[in-house]
C-alpha cells in the first residue's frame, strides 16, 4: 500500500476504503479492470466497518439487503475465494425476546419461529423468563470475521493488480476529456468513479458537481462488558422492541448495544454514557448477566437513504459515477454482494458505447 504522491490513469477509482469500497475494488480488479482504492485515513476500515456488531442476520435490512447477502454467500462460503486465512462465518444462534415491559413489541417477525422457555434457556441460560413475554428463534445467523473479510478483500484486490492509496482524500472530482480527474492526496484520472464514501457519500457527490441522495447518518452505540456467566457459544439476543441486543464476544466479554438510531452529522461519533447505562439496565432486567462495568465503548454510523434501501447504481445525471452507499445496518454482510453488483454495472458500461 502506498501513500506517496504520484499521478495515475486507471479504469476505476473507488473512493472510500471501508468494507464496501474494498469489496468493489476486489470485484473490479478481479474482472481485469485497472482499479485504485482511495482512502482518506491512514488505515482501511476505521469508520463504520471496524465498529459493527459483526453479524450476518437475514431479513434485517429488507429484501434488497437479503438479495445482496444471498449474492455474497458463495464468496463467504469459499473463504473469500481462498484469500482468507480462516473461515469468515461462524454459526450463531439468535433469539428474539419480547419484553414484558413495556408492551408493544412487534410479534410478527418474518423468518422467526416461536420457541418455549426451556428451548430458549438451553440456547441462552441467562434469560429471565419472568421479564419476558415470549421468545422466537431465527435460523441462518452467523458471526462475521470483519477484519478477516476486509484483509481478504484487500489482499485479493492487490493480487489482481489494484492499487490501494491511504491518506489520500478525494478533495475534488471534475470531468476532463472523458475522465474523472481526482485531486487531493493523489492525482488520479479514472474513466469511472465508485462512490463508497460511507457517511460522506453525499459530500463526495457534491464535490463532483452531482446531486446528493439525501443520506442520513444514524449513530449506533456499542460496548463490551466482562461477564462471568456468559459462554462463548451462547445465543445472541435481540429485544423485539429494538431497545437492546447482546452477543458473546471473545475473552469473556459481552458485546452490547442499545440499538440506538440518533441522527448525527458525518464524522467520528462518540458513545454517550447515558446510552450505555440504559442498555446495562435493560440487559440486567432481562437476564442474570449482572453487568456492572464496561471494558470499551464506541459508536459508529449507519447510513441510510430515505427509503432505507441500499443505493447501488449509476448516478442519475452521470452514468460514470456509481453509488455504493447507504448500506445501513447490514453493510458488512452485504459487502461481497454489493461489490459484485458494482462490478457488473461497471462492466456493462465498459462494454457499451459511452
Ligand X SMILES: Cc1cc2nc3c(=O)[nH]c(=O)nc-3n(C[C@H](O)[C@H](O)[C@H](O)COP(=O)(O)OP(=O)(O)OC[C@H]3O[C@@H](n4cnc5c(N)ncnc54)[C@H](O)[C@@H]3O)c2cc1C
Binding site for ligand X (CB under 6 A): 15-21, 38-41, 45-49, 51-55, 169-170, 196-200, 204, 220, 222, 257, 300-302, 327-333
Contact criterion met (CB below 8 Å) for 20 and 48: no
Q: Which is nearer to ligand X, 124 or 301 (CB)?
A: 301
Smallest separation (angstroms) from ligand X to the CB of 279:
12
The label of the residue with cell 421479564 reads: 131
62 Cβ contact list (under 8 Å, min separation 6): 308, 309
Contact criterion met (CB below 8 Å) for 279 and 256: yes
Smallest separation (angstroms) from ligand X to the CB of 38:
5
Q: Which is nearer to ligand X, 33 or 335 (CB)?
A: 335
Smallest separation (angstroms) from ligand X to the CB of 159:
20
Q: Which is nearer to ligand X, 99 or 336 (CB)?
A: 336
Q: Is the peptide bond before 102 cis (omega within 30 degrees of 0)?
A: yes
Smallest separation (angstroms) from ligand X to the CB of 129:
27
Neighbours of 25 (CB within 10 A): 34
Q: Which is nearer to ligand X, 79 or 134 (CB)?
A: 79
Q: Which is nearer to ligand X, 134 or 220 (CB)?
A: 220
| Residue 338 φ/ψ, nearest 5 degrees | -65, -40
Query: The C-alpha cell of 221 is what?
Result: 452505540
Smallest separation (angstroms) from ligand X to the CB of 76:
12
Q: Which is nearer to ligand X, 156 or 329 (CB)?
A: 329
Query: The C-alpha cell of 188 is what?
Result: 488520479
Smallest separation (angstroms) from ligand X to the CB of 265:
13
Smallest separation (angstroms) from ligand X to the CB of 73:
14
| Burial profile 253-280: b = 16 or more Cβ within 10 angstroms, e = fewer | bbbbbbbbeeeeebeebebbeebbebbb
CA distance 320 to 6: 23
Strands (E), 260-317: 262-264, 296-304, 311-315
Smallest separation (angstroms) from ligand X to the CB of 245:
9
Closest CA to 236 of 118, 141, 99: 141
Smallest separation (angstroms) from ligand X to the CB of 58:
11
Contact criterion met (CB below 8 Å) for 218 and 264: yes
CA distance 258 to 63: 24
Contact criterion met (CB below 8 Å) for 149 and 85: no
Q: Which is nearer to ligand X, 52 or 79 (CB)?
A: 52
Q: Which is nearer to ligand X, 198 or 337 (CB)?
A: 198
How many Cα atoms sit within 13 Å of 277 on the Cβ side? Answer: 3
Q: Which is nearer to ligand X, 54 or 343 (CB)?
A: 54
Amino acid at each position: 500500500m502506498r501513500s506517496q504522491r504520484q499521478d495515475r490513469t486507471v479504469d476505476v477509482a473507488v473512493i472510500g476504503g471501508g468494507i464496501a469500497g474494498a469489496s468493489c475494488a476486489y470485484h473490479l480488479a478481479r474482472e481485469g479492470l485497472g482499479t485504485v482504492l482511495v482512502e482518506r485515513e491512514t488505515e482501511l476500515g476505521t469508520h463504520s466497518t471496524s465498529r459493527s456488531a459483526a453479524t450476518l442476520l437475514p431479513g434485517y435490512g429488507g429484501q434488497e439487503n437479503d438479495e445482496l447477502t444471498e449474492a455474497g454467500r458463495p464468496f463467504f462460503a469459499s473463504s473469500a475465494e481462498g484469500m482468507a486465512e480462516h473461515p469468515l462465518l461462524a454459526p450463531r444462534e439468535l433469539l428474539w425476546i419480547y419484553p414484558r415491559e413495556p408492551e408493544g413489541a412487534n410479534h410478527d417477525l418474518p423468518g422467526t419461529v416461536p420457541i418455549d422457555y426451556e428451548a430458549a434457556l438451553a440456547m441462552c441460560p441467562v434469560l429471565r423468563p419472568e421479564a419476558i413475554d415470549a421468545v422466537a428463534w431465527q435460523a441462518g445467523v452467523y458471526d462475521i470475521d470483519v477484519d478477516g473479510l476486509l484483509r481478504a478483500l484487500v489482499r485479493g484486490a492487490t493480487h489482481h493488480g489494484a492499487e490501494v492509496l491511504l491518506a489520500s482524500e478525494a478533495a475534488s472530482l471534475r470531468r476532463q476529456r472523458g475522465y474523472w480527474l481526482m485531486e487531493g492526496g493523489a492525482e488520479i484520472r479514472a474513466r469511472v468513479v465508485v462512490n463508497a464514501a460511507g457517511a460522506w457519500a453525499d459530500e463526495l457527490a457534491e464535490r463532483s458537481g452531482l446531486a446528493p441522495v439525501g443520506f442520513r447518518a444514524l449513530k449506533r452505540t456499542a460496548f463490551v462488558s466482562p461477564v462471568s456467566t456468559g459462554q462463548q457459544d451462547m445465543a445472541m439476543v435481540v429485544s423485539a422492541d429494538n431497545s437492546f441486543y447482546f452477543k458473546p464476544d471473545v475473552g469473556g466479554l459481552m458485546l452490547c448495544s442499545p440499538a440506538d438510531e440518533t441522527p448525527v452529522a458525518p464524522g467520528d461519533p462518540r458513545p454517550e454514557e447515558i446510552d450505555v447505562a440504559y442498555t446495562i439496565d435493560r440487559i440486567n432486567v432481562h437476564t442474570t448477566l449482572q453487568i456492572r462495568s464496561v471494558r470499551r465503548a464506541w459508536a459508529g454510523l449507519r447510513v441510510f437513504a430515505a427509503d432505507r434501501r441500499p443505493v447501488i447504481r449509476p448516478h442519475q445525471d452521470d452514468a460514470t459515477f456509481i453509488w455504493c452507499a447507504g448500506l445501513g445496518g447490514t453493510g458488512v454482510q452485504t459487502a461481497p454482494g454489493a461489490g459484485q453488483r458494482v462490478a457488473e454495472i461497471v462492466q456493462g458500461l465498459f462494454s457499451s458505447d459511452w
